[in-house]
Structure 1
Amino acid sequence: MDYKNIQELIKAVSDSEVTCFEIETEGMRIKMEKKEQQVVERMPVNGTSVDQVTQNAISRDNISTNEVYVEKLQNDIAKTIQNAAKTIPEENSYIVKSPIVGTMYSAPGVDSKNFVKVGSKVKKGDTLCILEAMKLMNEIESEVDGEIMEVLVANEDMVEYGQPLFKINEN
């Protein structure tokens, strides 16, 4: 489902009487809800009927609230799609995952340069980082030749077993 289809879906749901809508397709789940709003306003002194004032207030408030809600929903969906696109690996990319639980160090020492950064060329066997587990320093080496496309963990972050650390574009 592309961005244009999602926008059309949002418009169709917001124009309808549907209050809750959920769809799962192509590994993406979209859920939309309309919240009912209660509007309380003071009665004007000029004698306008309660029904007329309430109806006018509800219409104005719902229209502006729904426009803001739809705009926020569209922005949230756009961000979700962008984030999903980032997590879906491309054909030539290789994800380096943590083989252990520990603390990730991107350099051999405090004053040293990082082993790799985005754009670095690596060869099979090159050290990418160090993972410390129980005071043991484990060098994590590249299993492929390529270029570092993304560093997914910051220096001194705790990492879990199987957590992605680097994204490498294979040569």
Structure 2
Amino acid sequence: MDFENIKELINIINSSDLAYFELKSNDDYIKMDKSLTRTSDNNAEKKEASIPVKEEATKEKNDSKENKSKNTVEEVIDENSLIITSPMVGTFYSSPSPDSEAFVKEGDYVKKGKVICIIEAMKLMNEIESNYDGNIVKCFVKDGDMIEFGQKLFEIKED
């Protein structure tokens, strides 16, 4: 690999959200680790910036919902509805196994603490729980879909 390609690769990785990158190709070996340069303050700012607020009136309600949430970020879309988004990158599973029924379907009523899906990340199965009581209005992803951080998962209409 020539020097210009290495410089370009460094710029790409540096501008991405990747914390660690390793490349082995023929006789070439490149390893980049920028996890030591990141702080938890940067991650908090990214999460805060990922919540779009549509109106000033919903901002206060949105802030209180974000503080209640432990594993997801929500976006208020009207007075009683909000969007539950993915807290991580991974694979979305709607049920605990391929033979099982989905945790929730559109129209289902869920209580706070009920598992609504699983996101597999780095071979770990992460159960995502509802932080609210309400009806599932819409599911934005399908079983087995690859999802990104902040991607819409469910719309829930709160009681």
4+ residue segments displaced more than 3 Å: none
Classify the secondary structure of the residue corresponding to 1:155: coil
With the length of structure 1 as denominator, give the TM-score of the two structures: 0.48
Q: How does 1:21-170 map to 2 (within 5 A)?
A: 89-170=77-158
Larger Rg: 1
Deviations, residues 21-78 of structure 1 (Å, cap 9, x unaligned): xxxxxx9xxxxxxxxxxxxxxxxxxxxxxxxxxxxxxxxxxxxxxxxxxxxxxxxxxx
Task: State the 1:97 CA deviation.
Answer: 0.7
More strand by share: 2
Separation in 2, partners of 1:136, 1:95:
24
Separation in 2, partners of 1:137, 1:154:
17
Percent identity between the two aligned chains:
56
Deviations, residues 85-126 of structure 1 (Å, cap 9, x unaligned): xxx922211211100000000000010000000010001100
Paired amino acid for 2:94:
S
Classify the secondary structure of the residue corresponding to 1:110: coil
With the length of structure 2 as denominator, give the TM-score of the two structures: 0.52
Separation in 1, partners of 2:84, 2:157:
11
Separation in 1, partners of 2:83, 2:115:
15
Separation in 2, partners of 1:133, 1:97:
15
Paired amino acid for 2:131:
E
> Which structure 2 segments of 5+ residues have no match?
1-53, 55-75
